Structure 1
Amino acid sequence: MTNEFSILSATLLFLFVIDPFGNIPILLSVMKGVAQKRQYQIVIRDGLIGLLILVAFLFFGAEFLKVLHLETESISIAGGVVLFVIALKMIFPSALGQENTNAVEPFIVPISIPMLAGTSTLATLLVMVKSFPEEQNALLISVLAAWGISVVILAMAPLLNRLLKEKGLAALERLMGMLLLMMSVQMLVNGVRSLTTHTVAVL
């Protein structure tokens, strides 16, 4: 990821962080016992709630950062570290926390939060808002695109699970993790480079 904004790059970044393929096993678990037609309705309903949360952070995230007096460089470096950790977890997933046999119909949790609008996604969105304050409309397009793709993938969870099986889904998640790892390193490099340039200019 370079210092120049790209809708495609931002969309991919949000998509990798949301990680819909990695969420499929969890979704199938929480939807166990729910009729398939109802599953689609739940994904769409909670997906829209997740979108509202993302859009709220997009337009009010900058004000949140101003209150905390955070600079672009610190946000970029911190965001790179967060994404680096997320990428490592995608590449080396833990078997813990994947079991859920409850047949209770989910509401907001876990689809809206944390699958679509989790802390990592919101943190990434804040980084992008701070890094590209003049690109709110383009960021909105990226968020909508990543959200739309993620919701479609989650809605197709039963079909994708039958087609790809557990190993196929794991391979896709690791591939997305590798790509996210590279993007996180680039974000770190951009933050450090910008901080170094700023420090030299002050001296």
Structure 2
Amino acid sequence: MNLVEITLLLFLVIDPFGNLPFVIAVLSGLDARAYLRAVLRELALAFLVLLAFALFGGAILHYLNIEPWSLNIAGGIILFLISLKMIFRSARDIFADGYSDNPILVPIAVPSIAGPSTITALIVLRTKEHLPLETVLAALVIVFLLACLVFLPGRLLSRALGDRGLAALEKFMGLLLNLVAVSMIMRGIRDFISGLAAAA
């Protein structure tokens, strides 16, 4: 995979357009300046969480003795389920009730942005695809810059596109993510069969 493909994958998994209504709802009690500060803070926290998994995720898998093919299959299944959720829901099924007007880390940075699917994708890229750390980090930086372009003017963007426009964008990204997920699962199955054949 090249830098463009990695960036596209991570952008689809993080799903800024799908998360935008939730972020706006959680931060609805803030004025414009406080909203911008909160978004930047949550993006920075999410970036640090994902950076930690990009750096140490492989070591964790090695310690747990997890085979690379199993990560591909499990990661693909997770992404597949996330993609179905993106495609078929008509509205956000995560509600903002129960959180303060300016929450820290949870629920925006984790798990909305740095969620299990994003963490899994990062670990797969680093361990199964054997991609250089600098390439993955470059893609991560680009994705978070793109996320800033979605979240920072989020209130204006939400009003311009409307709920139906945001839903249509999320469904399209879900379809692309679905294709990526199926490809990951098939690679994992192929590697598993190859391993059995080599051991026979």
Please tell me the TM-score bracket, short chain as reference: over 0.9
The corresponding residue for 1:47 is 43
Q: CA deviation at 1:104?
A: 2.0
The corresponding residue for 1:12 is 8
Given candidates 131, 141, 145, the residue that maps to 2:142 is: 145
Q: Deviations over 1:102-133 (max 9, x none)?
A: 66212112221112211221122112121133
User: SS at the partner of 1:123?
Assistant: helix
TM-score (norm 2): 0.93
The corresponding residue for 1:119 is 116
Rate the CA distance shift 1:112–1:102 in 2: closer, same or farther, 3 A: closer
Given candidates 70, 73, 84, the residue that maps to 2:69 is: 73
CA–CA distance in structure 2, aligned partners of residues 190 and 43 of structure 1? 36
Equivalent residue runs for 1:162-177 within 5 Å: 162-177=159-174
8 Å CA contact 1:50, 1:116 repeated in 2 = yes
User: SS at the partner of 1:105?
Assistant: coil
Given candidates 172, 185, 190, the residue that maps to 1:188 is: 185
CA–CA distance in structure 1, aligned partners of residues 168 and 97 of structure 2? 22
CA–CA distance in structure 2, aligned partners of residues 101 and 190 of structure 1? 41
The corresponding residue for 1:93 is 89
CA–CA distance in structure 2, aligned partners of residues 61 and 81 of structure 1? 19
8 Å CA contact 2:84, 2:178 repeated in 1 = yes
The corresponding residue for 2:57 is 61
Equivalent residue runs for 1:151-166 within 5 Å: 151-166=148-163
CA–CA distance in structure 2, aligned partners of residues 54 and 97 of structure 1? 22
- RMSD over aligned Cα, in angstroms? 1.6
Rate the CA distance shift 1:104–1:70 in 2: closer, same or farther, 3 A: same
Between the aligned residues of both structures, percent identity stands at 35
Q: Which amino acid aligns with 2:79?
A: L
CA–CA distance in structure 1, aligned partners of residues 192 and 147 of structure 2? 34
The corresponding residue for 2:128 is 131
Q: CA deviation at 1:100?
A: 3.2
Rate the CA distance shift 1:139–1:166 in 2: closer, same or farther, 3 A: same
Do structure 1's residue 199 and structure 2's residue 192 form an aligned pair?
no
TM-score (norm 1): 0.92
> Which 10-residue stretch deviates more, 156-165 or 114-123?
114-123
> Which 10-residue stretch deviates more, 41-50 or 87-96?
87-96
8 Å CA contact 1:34, 1:103 repeated in 2 = no
Alignment gaps of 5+ in structure 2 = none
User: SS at the partner of 1:70?
Assistant: coil
Q: CA deviation at 1:94?
A: 6.2
8 Å CA contact 1:29, 1:101 repeated in 2 = no
Alignment gaps of 5+ in structure 1 = none
